[in-house]
Structure 1
């Protein structure tokens, strides 16, 4: 028998640890050796761009001494001949929790549960919010984990970047090897990276309870760290801010989540001059242009969803088209990133079974990822991203001796990883002399006719055996292989308890075995077997040839949902001819009129206009053309609606959580809505900053936001603010009474006045000192309130009861600011004269009443009565479904109050534009205004009206014909993918059972994390 190639090194006692453990006493004799090894005649992949044939890799004391051909070897070198084998740099994983303590579950609490935890429970001079813990140092926490290390070593990894995955600011990561050594010998680079996320982690503190709250707390922490570095440390000691200042120069990794999370995190990074490396979820291909524009490098998982079990038609209805398409397209993600020139590293993170890593990587290669880019993503790119490329990632001279020895191409399904060397220490994964028996063999026992023995398996050490007699009878023998020896037990047939022929033998050649045995009746017999001519090595337990990759035929949609666009709509030159035009101007309603649109603006209005060549012409004969509907109070297209943790959250911004994939955008285009103000909810007296969007279906969040719009903010009065109706456990947060709400306003605006005065004094002093004075601490909550005092931000206030409306106007008058709009305002008719005097508008429901005690005095005449008192009145939705019928809601003001058709129509067009200070651009059809237009099939105030076309900035975002085409295309695509999933299941691929999900439609009082049954987060 042959001795395994390097096992002799152990037998001779020559294998030493890579580096001496100086300073650690030993219970025994010291035996320090130089660790000088040469691996000759190998194909050495020095880096993804450099491969040397018949080369030698020389290592000394755990580092690469030399690599090349015809090297002179120093005396005493232990030589291993690797003829026919390959050496690769060992792999690196940048998103690991290796050796980290378990992250505890967050404490309970919240709505109708245990009492909320308002303040931090962390003792000591740390940050006010315990989700911000940059003081965590992974190098002080890491503990060797033999089981995890062995699992990763077998996959080819030698180095991981690990950190505690807990909190918004998570502290520093540590680069460690997977060697079986003391922790101090494992660490390659302490404080290697800084880590952040949008997840509060184990913190039980109420803040943040939303994505926008997470963004705000991170932003404030960065501003606080800047202040602490400049001046704050003279006023207080804060270990968290000290650490945050210290770690900011490090490579920063942000666990951003999905494609929209990447864009959100990049926005935070841009504010503070930080270019984050983004840890993603594998759906970046869906917004690849926007992701590339961030300039970020990515850490990408190879987590591919299993096919859904859709054989049952009802089950299939529970799977969205986006989920089906992602199942097919997820394996293309890495290839598309490489094609777009986006740098990325690959990670095993997120895999439920780490053994799926190589299968998924090969699937990615089948779907467009080159082998060179795959190797870069596992070696040089991760090393470069964390500035460790002077230590790991290649086999260049001086690098740490982390490498793997393989049977062949690392990415081949037949490849076997034999050994993983880490810091010059050998770890055997598969013995190099192990015989790969996979393939077809011809077995002859005594004088019996030959039979076929098929040996299959994914790896050489895990195989299945099957004997085929007479081309039809299949029998499974028992086989044991030990080095050069083999034994077989052959049942006479497939019946249980069948007598057995026993054979034992040895290897007589590269493709031959022979030996002796005994038949069931005790007669001696000789036997032999030989590999069949041209027999392929089989990597499948069921077939002798690899399965061809399944073609991906799905195409991208913008957004990546069922009714998305194949291409994003673009502005056109459009002539709308012979329509009844509702101008909302002094010209009133114009019959048989043409409107010409160029460059996204209304350029001409008239009759019988000439038709230029090569433009879109929409026939408006018998139809009505209006400006687009504007919804002053909406909660669509948001990932969350309330940061309900504190009585004031003026620092949060709805723009941070715009969800461009929300199907309600498209549905509301179908109802003629073109612009919406996305408001914070009503959980706080002072809520968050609004986002005003145009419903440009297909654009990413930034493309939806209306540039140049004034800033607005949500205030609230009444039951929702107090949270006193959330149960006894929640009687903690101030205020608990309506008079406490008034005190919140007084307190915060007095502080904002002082804050504003402090900055004014600084600006004056800074001029005198020529820029030498230090600025005060930046407070992004007080920034927003100071903007209100300065007339730069405007209030939309959730309101019902007359007394509270009076209260807020009195507070505003006393402190020198105005309430721009009272929304809901169902008791507005009681004090419309005072609202008009104050200058406040009213954004109301048309006919809601009696849905809670605060609304008991609501009447459907409210809007008309306020209008008669000179209040600018709009009708809003506050509801994703109602927004599709705002034209009918406006019509109710004619039924209840006798408003004219034109005035009624203005309640959903010109009046909300006025309330949003956008009437110079939107709300009417006038030359120079934005071409946000709706062509209706009938009078828009009738129940029979529906849009034939909805246009925004001169681009057609909805049409009746286009809608029909989308529906047909969606059904065809669903049918194709369902059949493909059924075929995948029939082929033996794993499947997952569909679960019913319902996209959440937010309302004023909703809190993120408190979900109704069946709702999708």
Structure 2
């Protein structure tokens, strides 16, 4: 039967390939073959789509398309008939994220000594930034690649979406088949989708050099494209015109990880675009947030290998996050499907494409229904690309893209025999003979035993069943067979047999453990039952997936702590209010607020904490921090006010948890100091385990980072001699120029907005410029400045420019020469964020003194002590205490410098910074005097939730060690069973020191971003 099937199918090669209907515009040097390519495959189990199966059915194809399918299809005269009895036929699979047929994207790595490229080098009327290239059409770059096509056909694919992965706006992708034909014949849809990312690709242009810069560039591109369309003739821009044209196609966004999924969706929401997002396989880790995007996903089935953890020291190098991801990654699809997320599968990201089907089967083993797996490979990609009438199905009119298999597509022992693409037959594999079954084995004069050959047809397994049941090895090679098994369970003495097939029986000669020769035979009695096959499959589906933790890193928890009503009794309460320090007082936390402060309080149902001998303070607020963000500087231009730190908040930074342990409850996440006008700040509460958006403080005033001094003129970069400014005088001119333009921009919009509706209809709106829009907010008192500063001369300059241009500086940060200009700052109501005793780390701080904070505070300036450093933020209470030592400041005033004063600088003192009824329940319970070096935070509450508890912390450490050991043992077992492994390499933790100490490292990071 097998030979007849393959022989007839082989005869089809010329008949089907002879279809020339699609080639009518091409002249041919020879005879035209006009045969219709009419084929009927009969008696098959046909899966017409992911949920419909028809038994004993016929598939009729003509001229590369499906003409009919079903049990009552009449086979027309002249059709080539193929009896496919016992075979399964499936729609050809569709991969909607592939680089098939496209040229390699070559990215030149810039050396440290290379000068920056400020402007685009692309000739023509294109966009100003080379990372914006929507004019690229993959169909124009596409060439049929026989070798790649064959590799993909072996995986079952009949069509792929060819995506040119270069740039942020990447142009259009083409839906193509994997037939070995001319390009014009295999391109089904030349513009099937638009492609985007946050990766600048091959562009060597400096901007953007950070993730938040990439977000800002894409955001501005949307606005520019809208303006360009509304104002034809004002600017010829091929790129923006193309960008507008691509918006009508499905939008596919490549995301680097789960956080990028959320970032991409936010940009899409802002401009009314629902992206299809190609993920990285970790979406399950933020399942609720990913589901909330409503974005269809393209899922990789590339899973991490187990780590080689045989050496205990190596095991310690692997993070908890990586260990758990290795265990849980195969469950990604199942968890998303259960949550109701739409997705398609892709073979992208696989180092070895042969892993595709084993990994899809692994997803099924981890809980994904087979029907959903088939849907993700056929119907879903077809639907998302509006190609349901062409691919992903076997309905009439669709392309004749289909697979012929020996069994269920996802069965362990299934073989893809043939892959038909556009009616062209491509042979993939031969069906292996199935020798599985029960035999009666007779070896020499030994008693007969039961021989069971199980496993899969391609990978059979052997058991010899008798008084002792032993496992062995069996291998078939054509008509030859070899077997080996131990004499009994206790013995290592092997019986080795070799022989040949005799009908269904086996026979031959062998050797016993004593080296004597022996004849043997195995008489076939019955085939392996379907029940036995099902039992084996069922056993394989038993998988331990582990537990989710929030966040998905060390010190994550299976359940986040909940808001409670808490009554702290008999503590020393540092109110930071007129009541001062209260002895033996009580604090009631209820509904996320401080409900009452006093003595003798009671509350029904409250959790009571004995605060005897302990101290209660408001949560520490770090006014100048760089934790929990993916990057600190968009270091390419002098003015980058369009970038937003909120776009790159990283909720899994372990420094959030560490700083909670130091009593910190809120932080302002600032842009770095690489430019005179940096990016917009993000102000967060340290809600450990929440998503990036949930960290942001609701209703907080918006801030922005400015900078003065050495960093902004790039005196620490030997190759940076191009970007203006190169001197301190130039820095002043940057401010004057930027705010002059911002005033003009603001006035243009105010004039436009003052027009009547009728006049607006006749007048073009000004172009929205995110950079100038942000500066206009400053002019209008809607956004507030935190300015990096050191020396007196520049501080004076900044204040004069602010006076001249009509804006205010909210805070000078660092300001180690603040004591020299304190009177001028007080006149302008400018606050200060400074260090307690940092100096001597560069020339700008040579005049720093430890009395700086105390002097500014005495003059009447709102003064805060901040960290600018992940380590220092864990002990800001101690940094505050230094002013008691140096200046004789009262303890209450010193504590305010890390609680109430930063709250005032951030305009949050109506909600935070003191223990007062009605304020947010951001409270710390200390075991000792809060300014003591011996003080430890026992509990840190944010919104009345104990995000840090020292006792729970001890318990978590024990639990983490147990979890690490469990995962280590599981990896060792995986390796012992033949699983591939990878080296245990620790990831370098990003510890943000001061922006000055790390400015060189910052630029190194920039170079790495550009290089990657």
TM-score by length of 2: 0.92
* 1:702 counterpart (686, 689, 693): 693
Structure 1 counterpart of 2:660 = 669
Q: Distance in 2 between matches of 1:970 and 1:218?
A: 41
Q: Distance in 1 between matches of 2:19 and 2:647?
A: 50
Structure 2 counterpart of 1:795 = 785
Structure 2 counterpart of 1:302 = 301
Query: In 2, are the aligned partners of 1:455 and 1:538 still within 8 Å (CA)?
Result: no
Deviations 1:128-178 (A, max 9, x none): 111111111011111111111111111111010111111111111100011
1:861 aligns with 2:866: no
Change (3 A) 1:476 1:1007: same
Structure 2 counterpart of 1:893 = 883
- For residues 437-836 of structure 1, the aligned pairs below 5 Å read 437=435, 460=458, 480-481=477-478, 486=479, 508=503, 511-512=504-505, 531=524, 533-535=526-528, 548-549=540-541, 551-612=543-604, 614-727=605-718, 729-767=719-757, 769=759, 771-836=761-826
Structure 2 counterpart of 1:377 = 376
Structure 2 counterpart of 1:41 = 43
1:208 aligns with 2:208: yes
Q: Distance in 2 between matches of 1:423 and 1:149?
A: 13
Q: Distance in 2 between matches of 1:97 and 1:581?
A: 63
Structure 1 counterpart of 2:280 = 281
Deviations 1:837-881 (A, max 9, x none): 122111000010101111111111000011111111000000000
How far did residue 72 of structure 1 move? Answer: 1.7
Change (3 A) 1:147 1:723: same
1:224 aligns with 2:253: no
Query: In 1, are the aligned partners of 2:499 and 2:506 still within 8 Å (CA)?
Result: no
* 1:1010 counterpart (993, 1005, 1012): 1005
How far did residue 321 of structure 1 move? Answer: 1.0
Query: In 1, are the aligned partners of 2:20 and 2:33 still within 8 Å (CA)?
Result: no
How far did residue 900 of structure 1 move? Answer: 0.8
Query: In 2, are the aligned partners of 1:406 and 1:417 still within 8 Å (CA)?
Result: yes
Change (3 A) 1:552 1:830: same
Structure 2 counterpart of 1:496 = none
How far did residue 17 of structure 1 move? Answer: 4.1
How far did residue 986 of structure 1 move? Answer: 1.6
Deviations 1:881-917 (A, max 9, x none): 0000000101011111111111111100111011111
Structure 2 counterpart of 1:435 = 433
1:847 aligns with 2:837: yes
Query: In 2, are the aligned partners of 1:909 and 1:923 still within 8 Å (CA)?
Result: yes
DSSP-derived class of the 1:576 partner = strand
How far did residue 70 of structure 1 move? Answer: 2.1
Change (3 A) 1:77 1:1008: farther
Deviations 1:575-594 (A, max 9, x none): 22222211111111112222
Query: In 1, are the aligned partners of 2:97 and 2:161 still within 8 Å (CA)?
Result: yes
How far did residue 755 of structure 1 move? Answer: 0.7
DSSP-derived class of the 2:711 partner = helix
How far did residue 781 of structure 1 move? Answer: 0.7
Structure 2 counterpart of 1:153 = 153
DSSP-derived class of the 1:748 partner = helix
DSSP-derived class of the 1:51 partner = strand
Q: Out of 13-22 and 342-351, give the one that drifted further.
A: 13-22
Change (3 A) 1:798 1:17: farther
Q: Out of 171-180 and 982-991, give the one that drifted further.
A: 982-991
DSSP-derived class of the 2:668 partner = strand
Q: Distance in 2 between matches of 1:935 and 1:974?
A: 31
Structure 2 counterpart of 1:497 = none
- For residues 263-274 of structure 1, the aligned pairs below 5 Å read 263-274=262-273
Structure 2 counterpart of 1:396 = 395
Q: Distance in 1 between matches of 2:988 and 2:303?
A: 22
How far did residue 464 of structure 1 move? Answer: 10
Query: In 1, are the aligned partners of 2:460 and 2:474 still within 8 Å (CA)?
Result: no
Structure 2 counterpart of 1:14 = 15
Q: Distance in 2 between matches of 1:317 and 1:502?
A: 48
Q: Distance in 2 between matches of 1:378 and 1:947?
A: 52
* 1:68 counterpart (61, 67, 70): 70
Structure 1 counterpart of 2:103 = 101
Q: Distance in 2 between matches of 1:968 and 1:471?
A: 44
Change (3 A) 1:149 1:855: same
DSSP-derived class of the 2:158 partner = strand
How far did residue 439 of structure 1 move? Answer: 6.5
How far did residue 11 of structure 1 move? Answer: 3.7
Deviations 1:357-398 (A, max 9, x none): 111111111111000111111111111111111211111121
DSSP-derived class of the 2:5 partner = coil
Query: In 2, are the aligned partners of 1:456 and 1:544 still within 8 Å (CA)?
Result: no
Structure 1 counterpart of 2:925 = 935
Query: In 2, are the aligned partners of 1:456 and 1:463 still within 8 Å (CA)?
Result: yes
DSSP-derived class of the 2:47 partner = strand
How far did residue 209 of structure 1 move? Answer: 0.9
Structure 2 counterpart of 1:360 = 359
Structure 2 counterpart of 1:244 = 243
Change (3 A) 1:67 1:768: closer
- For residues 403-442 of structure 1, the aligned pairs below 5 Å read 403-431=402-430, 435-437=433-435
How far did residue 615 of structure 1 move? Answer: 2.1
Q: Distance in 1 between matches of 2:576 and 2:709?
A: 35
DSSP-derived class of the 1:360 partner = helix
Q: Distance in 1 between matches of 2:350 and 2:569?
A: 58
Query: In 2, are the aligned partners of 1:800 and 1:824 still within 8 Å (CA)?
Result: yes
Q: Distance in 1 between matches of 2:182 and 2:449?
A: 54
Query: In 2, are the aligned partners of 1:458 and 1:539 still within 8 Å (CA)?
Result: no
Change (3 A) 1:438 1:182: farther
Q: Distance in 2 between matches of 1:81 and 1:73?
A: 12
Query: In 2, are the aligned partners of 1:4 and 1:431 still within 8 Å (CA)?
Result: no
Q: Distance in 2 between matches of 1:696 and 1:747?
A: 40
RMSD, aligned CA: 3.2
Query: In 2, are the aligned partners of 1:198 and 1:215 still within 8 Å (CA)?
Result: yes
1:253 aligns with 2:267: no
Query: In 2, are the aligned partners of 1:791 and 1:817 still within 8 Å (CA)?
Result: yes
Structure 2 counterpart of 1:872 = 862
Change (3 A) 1:750 1:400: same
Query: In 2, are the aligned partners of 1:577 and 1:617 still within 8 Å (CA)?
Result: yes
* 1:913 counterpart (903, 907, 924): 903
Change (3 A) 1:473 1:72: closer
Structure 1 counterpart of 2:87 = 85
DSSP-derived class of the 1:5 partner = helix
- For residues 982-1001 of structure 1, the aligned pairs below 5 Å read 982-1001=972-991
- For residues 976-987 of structure 1, the aligned pairs below 5 Å read 976-987=966-977
* 2:949 counterpart (934, 959, 962): 959
Change (3 A) 1:458 1:766: farther
How far did residue 33 of structure 1 move? Answer: 1.5
Deviations 1:330-354 (A, max 9, x none): 1111100010000000111111111
Q: Distance in 2 between matches of 1:161 and 1:539?
A: 40
How far did residue 997 of structure 1 move? Answer: 2.0
Change (3 A) 1:335 1:590: same
Deviations 1:422-473 (A, max 9, x none): 11111111235x534467877999999999999898773x889999999999
